[in-house]
């Protein structure tokens, strides 16, 4: 059940995701860091926050390339996330991949290959089951990824083997430039769940409480041995596919209307109307988080890059 402290925490995490990612995006746009441009989850924060807060220690998440949201939501240290985004040795992966992982906290950062993480998440669920543990495995994947064979295969396998797998599809409306209407021929991606042989539903991905409650139901099912679930969280991608993407394939009006549904704004209004977080407290919270993010950037900036020998480490166990 959701309590008020949890809701405040949700807002905090959503703000952290927003500001951490903006700082990363700025670092790239200001040419402080180089390489493949950042992929931000702007507008999608509520999905990861609601979902991850429904999990417990020992559960695992497998991320997409927009991994910062689950990383923050699972409680990873913003300083070490930022250090990784800056490719510094102090980062979680020693600066070797911005798909940040912290295995000890149940975060496996993937997404370099769209949907590549989904079969692996299925395997973690299999391990939980074979070891007689009641822990669950949750994989994030997008509307674009939902069409990959890896997703269909994993869903079917999870259903026939009754795996404790939660398949969480973040439908943000676009696979880079392709709108969902041109990607699927049904109304909802979650319509496929029945075909796979598992329960499925869609949820308002901009409402962290709704996501939390939906994922909690799925987690409970999985823990009690009732197998996998397919959840489609409907949300918006407010930034480009990558931060430098001008999104010319979207009209100004469409983008503006998507911003109206910003989950931070929406949830902030809700908390205010519930008397849980007034405007002043919200500003104070946001100011505090911005300071934390600045500290994270400072930490990243002064962290050394990995030594050149590191290129040859960690190939073999």
Partner 1 sequence: MIDRRLFRSEGKISPEKREWPNFRGAIKEAMREEMRRDENVFQMGEDIAGASPFGVTAGLVKEFGPERLRDTPCSEVAVLGAAIGAGLGGMRAIMEFQFGDFMSVAIDQLTHQAAMLRYLTGGQVSVPIVVRLPCGGGQRCGSQHSQSLYSWFAHAPGIKVALPSTALDAKGLMKSAIRDDNPVLFFEHKALYRTRWPVPDEFKDEDYLIPFGQSAVRREGSDITIVATLVMVHYALEAADLLAKENIFVEVIDPRTLVPLDTGSILKSVKKTGRLLVVDEAYLTCGMQGEIIALVSENIFQDLKAPPRRLGNPGVPVPFEPSLEDTVLPTTEKILKAVREMVAA
- As a residue count, the chain comes to 317
**Binding of partner 1 by 61 (CB under 8 A):** no
Cα separation of 46 and 52, whole Å?
A: 10
Q: How many Cβ atoms from other residues are within 10 Å of residue 104's Cβ?
A: 7
Question: Residue 197 class from Cβ within 10 Å (0-12 exposed, 13-18 middle, 19+ buried)?
Answer: middle
Which range touches partner 1 (CB under 8 A), out of 63-71, 128-136, 190-198, 219-227?
A: 128-136
Cα separation of 250 and 306, whole Å?
A: 40
Which range touches partner 1 (CB under 8 A), out of 30-38, 43-51, 112-120, 208-216?
A: 112-120
Using the minimum distance from each CB to partner 1, give the nearer residue, 91 or 173.
91
Give the max Cα distance, the chain. 55
- Beta pairing, strands 174-175 & 178-179: antiparallel
Angstrom distances, CA of residue 253 to CA of 229, 248, 257, 258: 35, 12, 6, 9
Q: Which of 112, 225, 288, 304 is in the footprint of partner 1 by CB under 8 A?
A: 112
**Residue 108 near residue 101, CB atoms below 8 Å:** yes
With contacts defined by CB under 8 A, how many residues of the chain interact with partner 1?
47
Using the minimum distance from each CB to partner 1, give the nearer residue, 100 or 297.
100
Q: Which of 50, 122, 227, 240 is in the footprint of partner 1 by CB under 8 A?
A: 122
Distance spanning both ends of the chain, measured CA to CA = 42
Q: Which helix (H) or strand (E) holds 10?
A: helix 4-29
Q: How far is the CB of 128 from partner 1 (least distance, A)?
A: 6
Chain residues 151-210 in contact with partner 1, contact rule CB under 8 A: 153-154, 156-157, 160-161
Lay out the site mask for partner 1 across 88-107 (x = CB under 8 A, - = otherwise): ---xxxxxxx-x-xxxx---
Q: How many Cβ atoms from other residues are within 10 Å of residue 254's Cβ?
A: 14
Using the minimum distance from each CB to partner 1, give the nearer residue, 95 or 173.
95
**Binding of partner 1 by 113 (CB under 8 A):** yes
**Binding of partner 1 by 248 (CB under 8 A):** no
Using the minimum distance from each CB to partner 1, give the nearer residue, 49 or 61.
61
Q: Looking at the DSSP assignment, which residues form a beta bridge with residue 204?
A: 234
Using the minimum distance from each CB to partner 1, give the nearer residue, 112 or 288.
112
Where on the chain is the footprint of partner 1 (CB under 8 A)?
60, 91-97, 99, 101-104, 108-110, 112-113, 116-128, 130-131, 137, 149-150, 153-154, 156-157, 160-161, 313-317
């Amino acid at each position: 059940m959701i309590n008020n402290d949890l809701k405040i925490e949700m807002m905090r995490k959503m703000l952290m995701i927003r500001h951490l990612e903006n700082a990363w995006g700025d670092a790239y746009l200001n040419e402080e860091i180089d390489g493949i441009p950042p992929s931000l989850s702007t507008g999608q924060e509520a999905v990861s926050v609601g979902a991850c807060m429904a999990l417990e220690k020992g559960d695992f998440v497998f991320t997409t390339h927009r991994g910062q949201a689950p990383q923050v939501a699972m409680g990873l240290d913003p300083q070490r996330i930022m250090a990784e985004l800056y490719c510094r040795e102090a980062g979680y992966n020693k600066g070797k991949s911005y798909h940040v992982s912290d295995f000890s906290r149940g975060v496996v950062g993937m997404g370099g290959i769209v949907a590549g993480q989904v079969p692996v998440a299925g395997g973690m669920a299999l391990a939980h089951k074979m070891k007689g543990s009641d822990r669950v495995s949750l994989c994030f994947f997008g509307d674009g990824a939902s069409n990959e064979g890896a997703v269909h295969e994993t869903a079917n396998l999870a259903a026939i083997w009754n795996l404790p797998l939660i398949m969480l599809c973040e439908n943000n409306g676009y696979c880079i430039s392709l709108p969902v209407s041109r990607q699927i021929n049904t109304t909802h991606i979650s319509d496929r769940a029945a075909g796979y042989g598992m329960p499925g539903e869609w949820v308002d991905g901009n409402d962290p409480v709704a996501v939390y409650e939906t994922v909690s139901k799925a987690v409970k099912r999985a823990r009690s041995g009732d197998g996998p679930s397919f959840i489609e969280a409907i949300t918006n991608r407010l930034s480009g596919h990558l931060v430098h993407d001008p999104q010319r394939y979207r009209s100004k009006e469409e983008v503006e209307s998507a911003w109206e549904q910003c989950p931070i704004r929406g949830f902030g209004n809700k908390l205010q109307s519930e008397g849980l977080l007034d405007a002043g407290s919200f500003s104070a919270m946001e100011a505090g988080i911005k300071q934390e993010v600045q500290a994270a950037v400072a930490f990243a900036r002064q962290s050394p890059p990995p030594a050149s020998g590191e290129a040859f480490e960690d190939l073999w166990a």
